[in-house]
């Protein structure tokens, strides 16, 4: 029974899939999230009504509007991961863009903004933003962009290397916050990208060196090196 449940919630976004599948990922994550029941009960007690349900059509409208307005952006985060690996549902759309690009989309209502990050709502869709005011985010936008073809349109997406850069950059801050759930997810994402795609990591660390503390860089190198050694050892074992 557990294995069947696990398979049911394993998702991916292969080339050519409809944007409707992307929208369904967001809805599935909302439906599967146990916190919505707790939050919903709290909101009802406070008279705030039911928590917002992500409407699939709203997700489709978001990406069509981004294209129609010629907004420069990259898809990152959980949805971008699903274009490279199988994984679980994700409840947010994560986009990397400049402040100038964000101004082209006034329909995206910003609810919170701090430093290089913002969170907002496009209709019923939660959108998390990484802003290119951060120099490393700007590098990812300029040098680590590709396009993922959906049935309806192409979506600018961070490359495997760009995804690893963003996750490595985030980890030291998460360690200091003891954000164990996110640490587990980010480390797992990095490891599976390393295993499946074998990206060159030395150039990534050369870029990171300008944006993280030396002791953090050393720890990140250790994590990646140990995982690469495990991958190589496993592959040698399969060949023998």
pLDDT at 34: 52
Check: CATH 3.90.198 for 1-158? no
Among 126, 170, 148, 158, which Cα is nearest to 25's?
A: 126
Residue 22 has pLDDT above 60, yes or no: yes
Query: H helices then E strands: how many in the chain?
Result: 11, 7
pLDDT in tens, 86-138: 887 788 999 999 999 999 999 999 999 999 999 999 999 999 999 999 999 99
The two three-digit tokens of residue 234, written as one number: 């496993």
Say if CB 174 and CB 182 are below 8 A apart. yes
Q: How far is it, in rounded angstroms, from Cα 109 to Cα 123?
A: 8
User: H-helix or E-strand containing 230?
Assistant: helix 214-239
Residue 46 has pLDDT above 90, yes or no: no
Distance CA 35, CA 38 (A): 5
Tell me what pLDDT residue 147 has: 96
pLDDT of residue 154: 95
Q: Give the CA distances from residue 5 to residues 8, 78, 86, in Å, rounded to whole numbers and listed in that order.
A: 5, 20, 15
Helix (H) or strand (E) holding 36: helix 35-45
Residue 3 has pLDDT above 60, yes or no: no
Q: What percent of the chain has pLDDT over 90?
A: 75
Helix (H) or strand (E) run with residue 154 in it: strand 154-158
- Domain-wise residue ranges, the chain: 1-158, 159-229
Which pLDDT value is given to residue 28?
87
| Single pTM value for the model | 0.87
Predicted pLDDT at 30? 82
- Mean pLDDT (the chain) is 88
pLDDT tens, 54-94? 888 999 999 999 999 999 999 999 999 999 998 877 889 99
Q: CB under 8 Å to 62, separation ≥6 — which residues?
A: 93, 108, 122, 123, 125, 127
Average pLDDT estimate for 158-182: 96
Each residue's pLDDT tens digit, 8-20: 445 689 999 999 9
Which one has a higher pLDDT value, 2 or 197?
197
Are the CB atoms for 139 and 207 separated by under 8 Å?
A: yes
pLDDT band at 33 (very low <50, low <70, confident <90, very high): low
């Amino acid at each position: 029974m557990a294995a069947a449940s696990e398979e049911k919630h394993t998702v991916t976004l292969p080339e050519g899939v409809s944007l409707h599948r992307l929208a369904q990922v967001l809805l599935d994550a909302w439906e599967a999230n146990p916190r919505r029941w707790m939050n919903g009960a709290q909101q009802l007690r406070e008279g705030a009504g039911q928590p917002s349900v992500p409407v699939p059509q709203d997700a489709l409208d978001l990406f069509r509007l981004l294209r129609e307005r010629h907004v420069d952006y990259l898809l990152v985060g959980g949805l971008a991961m699903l274009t490279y690996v199988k994984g679980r549902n994700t409840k947010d759309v994560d986009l990397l863009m400049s402040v100038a690009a964000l101004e082209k989309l006034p329909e995206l209502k910003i609810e919170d903004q701090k430093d290089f990050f913002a969170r907002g709502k496009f209709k019923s869709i939660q959108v998390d933003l990484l802003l290119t005011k951060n120099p490393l985010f700007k590098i990812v936008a300029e040098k680590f962009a590709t396009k993922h073809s959906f049935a309806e349109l192409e979506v600018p997406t961070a490359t495997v290397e760009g995804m690893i850069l963003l996750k490595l950059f985030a980890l030291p801050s998460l360690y200091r916050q003891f954000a164990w759930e996110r640490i587990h997810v980010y480390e797992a994402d990095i490891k599976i990208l390393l295993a499946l795609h074998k990206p060159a990591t030395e150039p990534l660390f050369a870029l990171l060196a300008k944006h993280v503390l030396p002791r953090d860089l050393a720890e990140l190198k250790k994590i990646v090196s140990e995982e690469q050694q495990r991958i190589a050892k496993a592959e040698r074992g399969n060949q023998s």
